[in-house]
Amino acid sequence: MLDLIESETAPAADLIAWAMETYRDRFAISTGFQKEGMAIVDMAWRVSRSVRVFTLDTGRLPGQTQRMIEIVGERYGIDVERVRPDAEEVQRMTARHGTDLFRDSVESRQLCCEIRKVRPLDRKLGEFDAWATGLRRDQSPERAGVPKLERLDGRVKLNPLADWTAAQVEEYTRRHDVPMHPLYARGFASIGCEPCTRALLAGETGRAGRWWWEVEGRKECGIHFAPDGAVRRAPRGEDA
């Protein structure tokens, strides 16, 4: 088993190769098809053509993200696994709070993310012993301490690009001609659900285009960090 100290000095490609060899089909890549996730998919594909990739299909994704699912299949031959929320939970939530409840308050937005992203992810992770994400330390203050390897709830979570800069991601993307999400060309820097993501305005950086109407709260959906910033998080379990 690779330990935490060894993982911090291991190159990203080596970490991915180790996880794929160790966990085989019990390892997967979780991605929303942003540059980081696509770089990880490309690295893994170079190790094995049978890598598993899944995405959280919230029901509110932009059409460009849906197209990326097709592009990954065309380029890499990977059948992306779509992870959808429980339809009854979504129906109860929207009946009680409205379709666009995320506009009402930070708490309502977190509830929407909980139903559409956090709970579906928790259910999907039951299929795996390890998974990888595209988190990087310089993406936001909340992510500054992200390790390259974590052990959460009995599983290994890899963040192989944690110590990469945006420039390194760009260089890898160019060098390997990695497919790029179309919304980057329209000024997006972080891509999520369609109603909750916009292009950056002049002077904005990082995740400013996510939930831009919020004046308080962290720019996280809950799948990586709790509302209080803790790395470990537990489902809220409240009635939707």
Helices (H) and strands (E) in the chain, counts: 8, 6
Strand partners, 234: none
- Can you say how many angstroms the Cα of residue 114 is from the centroid of all Cα atoms in its chain? 14
Name the DSSP class of 149. E
CB atoms within 10 A of CB 186: 10
In the block, tokens 């890598």 appear at: 51
Contact 218, 224 (CB under 8 A): no
d(C-alpha 190, C-alpha 195), whole Å: 13
In angstroms and rounded to an integer, the radius of gyration of the C-alpha atoms of the chain is: 17
CA dist list (Å): 3 to 22, 40, 41, 161, 168: 13, 21, 23, 17, 25
Examine the residue annotation and report whether 221 is marked as an active-site residue of this protein: yes
Q: Which of 113, 193, 196, 221 is catalytic?
A: 221
In the block, tokens 């579906």 appear at: 120
d(C-alpha 56, C-alpha 54), whole Å: 7
Measure CA of the first residue to CA of the last residue in the chain; give whole Å. 40
Looking at the annotation, which residues are catalytic?
A: 221
